[in-house]
Structure 1
């Protein structure tokens, strides 16, 4: 995930492999069939959310209203100033942004130099998250900068453990995002699901979990469905995105999202799935509606 408007973009679409032309159906027809089966009403097995930063060119209140029309019930990665607008329209914020979180994601909990500032920021925002009726907030590991994975894990655990009492008191879960370090976030430490799960075990609290970003983890480690099935107990939130390029999640990319969503549902997951792709077409809201329809498995 990148929360800056000038995030570098990659390939918009994938060329359809010549081999697919010989099959009785194509990925495009499979997605179209899925959408037809789902119809205009949502099925309710997936709680739909959307990341605000991907639609920053749309007025915020207008965007909230448009998201609600689609059936989305959460607009996420928003700070306290935006929460009243979300509430006004009857939506929630499944994964809030907040004070102390505007720093670079490169400087996170894996470096003890950052702990005092991070801890102060989270101690300030966690009660506000609870007061607003929300129960999660995002956090980051930071970059390696030559640090070993084990030392980074230990450092993260030391800092995060200091926040667990206040997180537990206010019933707010800190959710660390898994990001790829191959393409988008060079040197980022929490770039593998196994490392994140190890950190969860080391912290030892149910108020620390992972954000499994499907886009990032497809790039970094692949094997998405098997990984979700293996590590689902550590995951508190999911994000989508087309690979390559982080654009629409339809036939233009390599992942088949209906199967991924079904695997998530089968784990017993009851949280939200946040659409976090950058629309590449003229009608952003149409792309968002398509993404929700694709993920709204029966």
Structure 2
């Protein structure tokens, strides 16, 4: 049984360091072999590549650009009328991913427009998302990359996010019907929206292309106080034969570096087979 592998999400961890290039080195110094990030598009590609190479890290995952966050955007994949912006964002994401040798891109769905009734726009948004995902699948398959869609909970994190449950995501993936787009499972969001993690993980495991973790409800370290039993969940993923990285996308209770002094990677995850 292969040991699980963990990567640091440097948009959430090591934020005491202002530059992503610094966080790459900090992640390597903390013992991580790989990292993921949300958006690196304000950073010079050459500097990122140099920092990644010097740190000896693999970059596992990037997100597509969010759009205009000041105007309320958080992804464009399912937003009607923004198809060309989504495609341009995908091009930029692929450019960064190729430079960093990153093989996974989270294709962000986006939010229900402010003031719109979710049920009234659901069909149009789904059709837009499916169309954009089919386009992305064609682009990414030619690059040897994998696209991912991630349900984000609407109870705590983002009430307007369009894609909010694994069931909805699985239905959309069935309509896209392409092996270059899979499901990104963040157990934090899944627990808040639906619970029933054991059965949902078993049911949707064939669709899962990436995993992320954080404790519920505080979205802190997996070994902090909360309702999720991570040793059990990790054992389940090992049993199912999960081969990819598990992204540490959580809010440290202290600074990341401070917490690293008191936790080794194995202590962080509380399972002996982690590497």
Fold-level similarity (TM above 0.5): yes
Contact 2:130 2:172 (C-alpha < 8 Å) held by counterparts: yes
Hey, what's the Cα distance between the residues in 1 that align with 2:250 and 2:95? Answer: 30
Q: How many residues align?
A: 255
Pairs within 5 Å for 1:118-133: 118-133=86-101
Q: Cα deviation per residue 1:270-296 (whole Å; 9 max; x = unaligned)? A: 111011111113513246645764254
Aligned-pair CA distance for 1:157: 0.4
Q: 1:146 is matched with which residue: 101, 106, 117?
A: 117
Q: Cα deviation per residue 1:10-64 (whole Å; 9 max; x = unaligned)? A: xxxxxxxxxxxxxxxxxxxxxxxxxxxxxxxxx9611210111222212544543
The runs of 5 or more residues in structure 2 that have no matched partner are none
Q: Give the direction of change, closer, same or farther, for the CA distance of 1:277–1:166 in structure 2 (3 Å limit).
A: same
Q: 1:224 is matched with which residue: 197, 203, 216?
A: 197
Q: Give the direction of change, closer, same or farther, for the CA distance of 1:97–1:106 in structure 2 (3 Å limit).
A: closer
- Structure 2 residue 127 is the aligned partner of structure 1 residue 167: no
- Structure 2 residue 172 is the aligned partner of structure 1 residue 235: no
Hey, what's the Cα distance between the residues in 2 that align with 1:170 and 1:280? Answer: 38
Hey, what's the Cα distance between the residues in 2 that align with 1:261 and 1:112? Answer: 38
Hey, what's the Cα distance between the residues in 2 that align with 1:96 and 1:295? Answer: 27
My pick for the range that moved more, 196-205 or 278-287, is 278-287
User: Which protein is bigger by CA-based radius of gyration?
Assistant: 1
Q: Give the direction of change, closer, same or farther, for the CA distance of 1:87–1:225 in structure 2 (3 Å limit).
A: farther
Q: 1:137 is matched with which residue: 97, 105, 119?
A: 105
Pairs within 5 Å for 1:203-282: 203-281=176-254
Hey, what's the Cα distance between the residues in 2 that align with 1:288 and 1:239? Answer: 19
Aligned-pair CA distance for 1:141: 1.3
- Structure 2 residue 54 is the aligned partner of structure 1 residue 88: yes
Hey, what's the Cα distance between the residues in 1 that align with 2:33 and 2:161? Answer: 31
The runs of 5 or more residues in structure 1 that have no matched partner are 1-42
SS at match of 1:48: strand
My pick for the range that moved more, 173-182 or 143-152, is 143-152
Contact 2:150 2:186 (C-alpha < 8 Å) held by counterparts: yes
My pick for the range that moved more, 279-288 or 245-254, is 279-288
- Structure 2 residue 25 is the aligned partner of structure 1 residue 52: no
SS at match of 1:239: strand
Aligned-pair CA distance for 1:130: 3.0
Hey, what's the Cα distance between the residues in 1 that align with 2:234 and 2:67? Answer: 31
Contact 2:67 2:75 (C-alpha < 8 Å) held by counterparts: no
Runs of 4+ in 1 over 6 A off after TM superposition: none
Aligned-pair CA distance for 1:217: 1.3
Aligned-pair CA distance for 1:65: 3.3
Aligned-pair CA distance for 1:131: 4.4
Q: Over aligned residues, Cα RMSD in angstroms? A: 2.4
Hey, what's the Cα distance between the residues in 2 that align with 1:297 and 1:102? Answer: 41
My pick for the range that moved more, 82-91 or 182-191, is 82-91
Q: Cα deviation per residue 1:252-283 (whole Å; 9 max; x = unaligned)? A: 11111111111112222211101111111351
SS at match of 2:77: coil
